[in-house]
Every structure is written in structure tokens, then in C-alpha cells.
Amino acid sequence: MKTKLTLLLFASVALFFASCTKYPPTSDRLLEDLAIVTQYDTKINFNDYKTYSITNVITKITDKDTTYISDANATSTLNQIAKNMDARGFVKAAAGVKPDFGIQVLYFENTNVYVYYYDWWGYYPYWYYYYPYPTTYYYTYTTGMGNIELIDMKNVNTASNVLYIRWNAYIRGLLTGNHSQAEILNSIDQAFIQTPQLKTSAK
């Protein structure tokens, strides 16, 4: 997998799992568990890379705006990613030193709205016929998706201003308030476990 990004747009295009249905049934929402999907570039050798840097904020993108999260949970999340990178043999680059990999974390939040109408027909005494009384119902549910991107800073195509994503992980779930920070950190660990190829023995 080779994904191109322009230098000016340092973010991936994410597909929101939008729907025009009511809050999805159990069979469609994985029992509200966090779903984890990873992918990596099979054409590269991770042993050619050693150092990395990681952002100190999580970029949150909604249908309204883009903000940056830097609270304790965000810091804990970023530290867990760094911990996994260290365990795979990578070394965090010193400040001011260009790393082999740059890591950014994006968080997408999408609210789905379902609308349906119910017509109730009742007797209208003055006109002696049945008259419809339409009622509108609204249902909403919110999905969230985290995206961890490992971006190649060692092999930048300067001629066409292109960056390459060598590995990324999607962590998706419904925002019901039931997911603890521990579950988020475990999901990050699982993303790395799913990609045993992501390791280096470079010196």
C-alpha cells in the first residue's frame, strides 16, 4: 500500500461510516466494541528505518471544525504509541533532528441523523373528514475513528511534494461513553500486534 499525501495537506482522507438509518442494531455495531484495522506498505523494509518523532497533540476533525487535543488522555494515547514503537526497536529522534518516520494521530467524529415521519389520521369535527397530523421523529448516533499514520520522512519525493504513509491503524467505535482510556490503550497495543512486520533491527 502506497498512499500519497501532499506536503501542504498533512492529513489522510478518511471515510466516515455515515448512515441514514437509526442507531445501528447490535448485529451491525460489533456490540459497540472498538474495531481495529491496520495496513502497511509491503514493498518496503522496515529495517531501513530507525528513528521516529510523534506529534504532541491529537488532531480532531468533525463536520464543523478542526481542533487539537492535548489533555491527559491525549498524552497517554501518544505515549502508548511511542511505547510500542520503542518496543519494536525504533528510537525517538532528538529534538531538531529529522526522523526516519513521523507519526501523527487523527481523530474523526461524525454524527449521523435519522429522520422519519409518522402520519396520524384523525377525525376533524368541523369538516367531517379525517385529517393527517404528521409527526417527525429524530434519532442521532455518533461514531468516532482514530487514525495513526506512520509517514516516511526519509524518502520524500521533493519533486512532486509527496509523502508516503508506510503504516496506519484505524480504531473505530460508537461514541457511547462506554469506552475507557484503558480500552483505547489496549486497542493501540492490538494495532501493533496485528502488524508484526512493523519492527526494525537497524543500528
Query: Domains of the chain: which residue ranges?
Result: 3-8+36-110+144-193
d(CA 54, CA 198) in angstroms, rounded, equals 16
The alpha-helical segments, DSSP class H, found in the chain are 72-87, 181-193
At residue 161, the pLDDT reads 80
| Mean pLDDT per 10-residue section of the chain, whose length is 203 residues | 37 36 43 77 96 95 90 94 98 94 90 58 48 54 82 87 91 64 90 96 87
d(CA 186, CA 142) in angstroms, rounded, equals 22
The SS3 of residue 74 is helix
8 DSSP assignment: S
* Fold type of domain 3-8+36-110+144-193: Double Stranded RNA Binding Domain (3.30.160)
d(CA 133, CA 40) in angstroms, rounded, equals 55
User: Residue 23 class from Cβ within 10 Å (0-12 exposed, 13-18 middle, 19+ buried)?
Assistant: middle
Who's near 116: CB < 8 A, 6+ residues apart? 136, 137
Q: Which residues pair with 105 in a beta bridge?
A: 148
Q: Which helix (H) or strand (E) covers residue 56, if one does?
A: none
Cβ proximity of 41 and 28 under 8 Å: no
At residue 117, the pLDDT reads 54
The alpha-helical segments, DSSP class H, found in 117-196 are 181-193
Extended beta strands in 7-65, E state: 35-40, 51-54, 58-61
- Which residue's C-alpha cell is 435519522? 114
Q: Which residues pair with 119 in a beta bridge?
A: 134
